[in-house]
Amino acid sequence: MDQQTIRKAGLKVTLPRMKILEILEENAQRHMTAEDVYKELLLRDEEIGLATVYRVLTQFEAAGLAERHHFEGGQAVFELNRGEHHDHIVCLTCGKVEEFMDETIEKCQAKIAKKHGFTIADHSLILYGECNNPKCPNRPK
């Protein structure tokens, strides 16, 4: 139940938060910008302001429900946290994002952090390139 998800995050259960969570769940395979979420809300005739979308997404992030990524292009994208950590490959031509996870890289990172005397809190690994998909050049949006 979504309500529990929100409540456990220490947030009041409100309509905007329910709707936004719902949209993020339905688009779990995509990575959505705040604007994307807002547009989706408009399509559903929900009277939710863009400011609220940003606020809620930021709260979700703070609560660990969602992650914010800064891919190239200035606009931040959000995705629901589904438990398993992963990194991203982004196609510079069509914008497609794929996810991956490599145990070796994770271990190397820990090793490097130790060598530098750092305690790692988080990391961001993004590979940029061309997806080589025949249909790729059709940029979305």
Q: Which residues are annotated as a binding site for Fe cation?
A: 85, 87, 106, 123
Q: Which stretch binds a copy of itself (CB under 8 A): 6-14, 17-25, 27-35, 114-122?
A: 114-122
Give pairs for 82-91: CB < 8 Å, separation 24+: 82/28, 87/124, 87/125, 87/126, 87/127, 88/125, 88/126, 88/127, 89/126, 89/127, 89/128, 89/129, 89/131, 90/126, 90/127, 90/128, 90/129, 91/129, 91/130, 91/131, 91/133, 91/136
Binding pattern for the stretch 52-81 against DNA, x by CB under 7 A and - elsewhere? x-xxx-x---------------xxx-----
Binding-site partner at residue 14 among a copy of itself, DNA, none, CB < 5 to 8 Å by type:
DNA
Is residue 8 part of the contact set for DNA (CB under 7 A)?
no
Give the binding site for DNA (CB under 7 A). 7, 11-17, 33-35, 47-52, 54-56, 58, 74-76
